[in-house]
A and B are shown apart, each in its own frame.
Chain A
Amino acid sequence: MLRRVKRSTTLALVLSPVGVLLLAVVRLLIVSDYDENTALAIVHSGGYVNTLLGSVIPLVPILMPYLALLLLYLGQTVAALLALAATVLISPATVTGTAALSIARHDWDAIGGGDGRRHALLIILAAAFGLLLLAELAGSGLRVSARSVGTAAVVALVPPVVFLYPVTVGNSSTYTGLLTQPWLPAESITLATHRVVTGYVLDSDQDWTEVLLAGNRTVARYRTGQVVARAACQVAGAGQRRPLLPLIAARSRLPACVTAPPP
């Protein structure tokens, strides 16, 4: 009805420093198992900037599909399409691309099925939608029409997004695992006492090595001289999923981390 001819379309809210900072704090608390002292120890050891970037960057693939839906709803069609493309390329999905296609084909068959009354209803609705869209195209142009269709597409995209990129509370979802996973590489650390601990090295100098233990999420300090060996490893449940369209076919395989009781 009323608009600026030249208007800014910045996503100020999503990209504002306050929003990014809040995201970083929330994720830091999740990684620290909701313990403020551990969170502060991580920030102290890793540095503020590293912690901020480290905690936010891994959230991008998780939030991307939902950001795409939000952008579509807000009428930012081009930004939403870019977010959807990024989702397909980087967000870890619950199934592979081939399996997703197979499920889509099965769902398409289900959508095309049903009795004559359902088909008639679909035809009537499609005709009404088509006529309204044509009128809008002729009256308001492609940009406004694309925005209207994009907003309506949220309904069609909710089921596949929820199925492929579920965020659930508890341990049932890969996304929960990704959220609780620190941004540092997991390492198996062998000590001089022949004990092996699994954790994330927050800081290390010639005197001390600070480790966020993977098991109970507490910060342990070892004398650097006591650390005999360090090797990157794969924590169970982390990094198991791939995006729908992975650009790199090969997967790096790390040895599984040793689960040891806390000291």
Chain B
Amino acid sequence: MKAGLVPAAAYKYMTARETPAICERLHPARLLPRAVTAAGALLSAVALEPAVSGHGWVELAVWLITGWFFLSLARAVLDRFSTYLVVTRWRIFLCSGSGVTWTASLADVKDIRVIRSPAGRIAGFGTLILDPAHVAIDYVPYPEQMYVEMLGLIHPDPPELD
């Protein structure tokens, strides 16, 4: 990947000598948990409305908590546009609007696994597990390509097999 193709949100966290091999946004499916919570909260609030109406601050609390869940969802949606998974020749990191939220040296990653759920196979995302730290990165898009590329970076010269 050419440096010029890397979004500025990720490029600003890279040193001059770093060449990005992978730079991808995480899959939109990562918004699902917050969407489920917000939808469930709204359903509960609307359903409970006749029971809590007139109960002053209980009614207010129900709607405030529901609003909070929606704010949380909105924040996650905005975060998605500035969150990138970046892999260079010597490190892997996640960056977002708030900075570099996680980083690991590629030298510390001895192996990598990929897991795909049924919905992940349909929608095109998966989970990469970095060993031996057992760190899982969920909602990775194009997980097979990512797996192969990252494996190539971790083991540039694999042993010849007969």
For the residues of A in contact with B, the DSSP-based class is helix
- Asked whether, in the complex, the Cβ of A155 is within 8 Å of the Cβ of B44, the reply is yes
- A1-B83 Cα distance, complex, nearest whole Å: 11
| Chain A residue contacts of B30, Cβ below 8 A | 1
* Mask: chain A, 155-196; 1 = CB below 8 Å from B; 0 = not: 110110011000000000000000000000000000000000
- Asked whether, in the complex, the Cβ of A148 is within 8 Å of the Cβ of B48, the reply is no
Please report which residues of chain B, range 31-69, place their CB below 8 angstroms from some CB of chain A when the two chains form the complex.
32-48, 50-52, 55, 58, 61-62, 65-66, 69
At the interface, yes or no: A140 with Cβ under 8 Å from chain B?
yes
Known: A125-B42, A158-B65. A145 touches B36 (CB 8 A): yes
Please report which residues of chain A, range 58-97, place their CB below 8 angstroms from some CB of chain B when the two chains form the complex.
none
At the interface, yes or no: B26 with Cβ under 8 Å from chain A?
yes
Query: Which of A4, A132, A139, A163 touches B123 (beta carbons < 8 Å)?
Result: A139
At the interface, yes or no: B15 with Cβ under 8 Å from chain A?
no
At the interface, yes or no: A18 with Cβ under 8 Å from chain B?
no
At the interface, yes or no: A129 with Cβ under 8 Å from chain B?
yes
- Asked whether, in the complex, the Cβ of B32 is within 8 Å of the Cβ of A139, the reply is yes
Cβ distance A186 to chain B, nearest Cβ, rounded Å:
34
Query: Which of B37, B47, B136 touches A148 (beta carbons < 8 Å)?
Result: B37
- Asked whether, in the complex, the Cβ of B51 is within 8 Å of the Cβ of A155, the reply is no
At the interface, yes or no: A253 with Cβ under 8 Å from chain B?
no
| Chain A residue contacts of B36, Cβ below 8 A | 129, 132-133, 136, 145, 148-149, 152
- Asked whether, in the complex, the Cβ of B117 is within 8 Å of the Cβ of A141, the reply is yes
Known: A135-B119, A159-B52. A122 touches B136 (CB 8 A): no
One of A108-116, A214-222, A235-243 at the interface: A108-116
| Chain A residue contacts of B46, Cβ below 8 A | 118, 121-122, 125
At the interface, yes or no: B138 with Cβ under 8 Å from chain A?
yes
| Chain B residue contacts of A3, Cβ below 8 A | 135-136, 138
| Chain A residue contacts of B39, Cβ below 8 A | 125, 128-129, 132, 152
- Asked whether, in the complex, the Cβ of B40 is within 8 Å of the Cβ of A140, the reply is no
User: Quick one: closest A residue to B42, CB to CB?
Assistant: A125
- Asked whether, in the complex, the Cβ of B134 is within 8 Å of the Cβ of A6, the reply is yes
User: Quick one: closest B residue to A104, CB to CB?
Assistant: B51
| Chain A residue contacts of B117, Cβ below 8 A | 138-141
Give the A-binding residues of B (Cβ under 8 A).
26, 29-30, 32-48, 50-52, 55, 58, 61-62, 65-66, 69, 83, 94, 101-102, 117-120, 122-123, 125, 129, 134-139
- List 10 tightest A-B contacts by C-beta distance, closest first: A152-B40, A139-B119, A138-B119, A5-B134, A148-B36, A156-B44, A107-B51, A110-B50, A155-B44, A129-B39
Q: List 22 contacting pairs A-B, 8 Å CB cutoff, sorted by A.
A: A1-B139, A110-B50, A111-B51, A118-B46, A122-B46, A122-B47, A128-B39, A129-B39, A133-B40, A135-B119, A136-B32, A136-B36, A148-B36, A148-B40, A149-B40, A151-B41, A154-B65, A155-B44, A155-B62, A159-B48, A159-B52, A162-B58
Known: A129-B40, A138-B119, A158-B62. 9 other contacts (CB 8 A): A2-B94, A2-B136, A129-B39, A133-B36, A135-B32, A139-B32, A145-B33, A151-B40, A155-B65
